[in-house]
Structure 1
């Protein structure tokens, strides 16, 4: 068992560029140099109360203790939304091959709640490679306005603008929220390297957003001490 854990630590430290960093500032600098689609953020994440496909209410506060990777789509989008979901699925596959799996929630929010019914939400992720084990697809609550999730997207800095033909004009951004509900990063578009998003996730699961004078915590820090 120990040999297997050490192997995981070696794998993680070899394929995640920031695994040896001692603060989030160091990780941010590494990513700024290596990933042109990366944007460091440092502010509270916009609050939300939404509903999962099974009817469960999901609040940002309920996710404390988990790193959240959040993105917005609408399921009838004919082009970039499916590609965005598949990009996130690629990241999720990398994360879920490590013990970080239990510390991460991948979250998709629909900006078209009128058409994206619960059965549509449930089917969308698996159709694009997302693992339901740590993935949620959220929509509005019944008492919320239809544009509530589009306004949430605006609070995260981008718009989903309705067009006359029923589609939505929008950008592509993957947002990263730390375990305390603090918005830490954006990855713009579809051309970022998945390993760089994994680098940010790894940093946040190891508490690197805290001052570097604090002891490192988390599975990677513990295993690194065994090497």
Structure 2
């Protein structure tokens, strides 16, 4: 992906509305994130497939941004595609295990249909049940979505590749400087 100037980052569409619960048991909505730049992904804690790599790359991004002067203007947001398993308690344990405090990184859960609709219809990312594949029971995208302070989707990045995370970080920097 070619590095882009801030004004060249497209405004694709508004990030969808949602009301979900974070790892601290607090309600979080899209409106709560207005005024912040955020990077979002979809995952589940028991995922044997791409999720460990996706979470590790997001964890690396979080660590790289820890001392950023505008850190309070930035959030990482991970939506669980398996809310039946990923309860508030499970997400709290997970976020603690990867050293991701709620002030920096939100892990969200709620009703399965609402989260799947958010992925498919809101962020336009694939997700489907694959019950015949116990090694990968939920097939989903490894993309990370960049959202600006006004709640507009500004880009998609491959969350599984170092180049994708590097470009995401560069574009986060551009949006934080706006």
TM-score (normalised: structure 2) = 0.86
- 1:170 is aligned to 2:153: no
For the 8 Å contact 1:100–1:202, the answer to whether it is kept is: no
User: Greater shift after overlay, 145-154 or 123-132?
Assistant: 123-132
Partner of 1:195: 166
Cα RMSD after superposing both structures: 2.0
The number of equivalent residue pairs is 171
Instruction: Summarize the Cα distance change of 1:99–1:43 in structure 2 as closer, same or farther, 3 Å threshold.
Output: same
- 1:106 is aligned to 2:73: no
Q: Distance in 1 between matches of 2:58 and 2:11?
A: 19
Partner of 1:70: 40
Q: Matched residue of 1:99: which SS?
A: coil
For the 8 Å contact 2:23–2:95, the answer to whether it is kept is: no
Q: Distance in 1 between matches of 2:131 and 2:104?
A: 36
Structure 1 stretches (4+) deviating beyond 3 angstroms?
Answer: 128-133
Going by fraction, where is helix more abundant, 1 or 2? 1
How far does residue 135 in structure 1 lie from its aligned partner after superposition? 0.8
1:1-227 aligned within 5 A: 21=5, 23-25=6-8, 28=9, 42-140=12-110, 145-155=111-121, 156-165=123-132, 167-193=137-163, 194-207=165-178
For the 8 Å contact 1:51–1:139, the answer to whether it is kept is: yes
For the 8 Å contact 1:126–1:132, the answer to whether it is kept is: no
Gaps of 5+ in 1: 1-16, 29-39, 208-227
Q: Distance in 2 between matches of 1:53 and 1:191?
A: 26
How far does residue 129 in structure 1 lie from its aligned partner after superposition? 4.9
For the 8 Å contact 1:107–1:137, the answer to whether it is kept is: yes
